[in-house]
Amino acid sequence: MPRSVFAVVAAVVIAGGAAESQQPPPAVQSLRPDQVGAFVWHDLVTANPSSARLFYGSLFGWTFEEGDGIDPGYTIIRHEGRPIGGVVPRQANEAGSTNAQWLTYITVADVDKAATAVLRAGGRIFRGPLNARRDLRVAVVVDPQGAALGLASRGPALAEESPPALHRWLWMEYVARDPAAALKFYGDVVGFSHLVHQTRDTFVYYLLSTDRPRAGLFRSLWDRDTSVWLPYVRVADPAEAAARAVALGGRVVLPPGPTVRNGSLAIVLDPAGAPIAFQKYPFDGDTQ
């Protein structure tokens, strides 16, 4: 894949292109049930791309290159030569988020219907729906709790490696201000079913599923103005990765500990405030 199509998607959707939103949906092949609800691309939206490149490059060995033919400023993230995401520059006061954040695209059966469902449920459409390619329909939405999410009619990672290599995407979780409202919203918009996977003291962990578990959901463990989707990266040693993140200017909000997946998980904020999780996999013990 010389250039990821989702790099183009992000540049069109985030950097502009709102005039294309009135295009009719392209003729696309319907997703199979096992393709709905797949997280297929990750973009870091930040006001300080240079700082992000230094942080993630030092932390994971990710490399960065300008997007050839893409709107100015968009950067493709690669790991061992493979495109895995992008960096989208934005103004510090741009609407849609108060902090830097990872914007993840998820496949839905019908992008236009899902975007309409977002509006009906009290969310907002930030960009789109629009045609990013002849056979690709996308939109970026913001849910009622302020969490941004990309919607896509297909994606490049439907046949993702399992398990992924070290320093690649492993899992997704929704960090909620209001878990009950989020469960209903994503059931209506994406078609996620849910079940309580684990409870511990006042902590409740839900699994979100389509044909299989796709993500987790829990009430936020740290103060946030909005809810957020939290991407996971597979690491060999979460404590060591968290320590390096701090040395590079990040902040740990959930350190590895014996009560959470036997010390195999850390959650940090990058220097601009974007949350990201470090997970050792496989790990011993129950999934939180």
Using CA atoms, how far apart are residues 256 and 267, in angstroms rounded to an integer?
A: 8
Residue 223 token pair: 């103060």
- Of 147, 146, 139, 67, which is closest to residue 106 (Cα–Cα)? 139
Q: Using the predicted structure, report yes or no on whether residue 164 has a pLDDT greater than 80.
A: yes
Residue 181 has pLDDT above 50, yes or no: yes
- The pTM for the full model equals 0.84
User: Furthest-apart CA pair in the chain: how many Å?
Assistant: 52
Amino acid identity of residue 170, one-letter, is L
Nearest to 20 by CA among 133, 131, 172, 134: 131
User: What's the chain's average pLDDT?
Assistant: 83
Single out the residue of 195, 89, 86, 226 nearest to residue 150, CA to CA: 86
Q: Which pLDDT belongs to residue 70? A: 53
Residue 188 has pLDDT above 80, yes or no: yes
Strand-pair partners of 76? 65, 86
Predicted confidence at residue 267, as pLDDT, reads 93
**pLDDT value at residue 161:** 66
Q: What is the pLDDT of residue 129?
A: 93
The pLDDT value recorded for residue 261 is 80
Domains of the chain are 5-20+36-152 (3.10.180.10), 169-280 (3.10.180.10)
Cα dihedral 277→161→138→88 (10° resolution): 50
Per-residue pLDDT tens over the stretch 15-60: 333 334 456 665 555 667 667 889 999 999 999 999 999 999 999 9
Average pLDDT over residues 80-98: 74
**Among positive and negative, which fits the CA dihedral 170, 270, 87, 43?**
positive
Q: What average pLDDT does the segment 173-198 reach?
A: 93
The rounded distance, in Å, linking the Cα atoms of 232 and 238 is 11
- pLDDT per position as a tens digit, 197-253: 888 777 899 999 998 899 999 998 777 778 999 999 999 999 999 999 999 999 999
| Bigger pLDDT: 96 vs 175 | 175
pLDDT at 143: 96
Burial profile 58-86: b = 16 or more Cβ within 10 angstroms, e = fewer = ebbebebeebeebbeebbbbbbeeebbbb
pLDDT value, residue 90: 81
Strand bridging mode 213-219 / 169-176: parallel
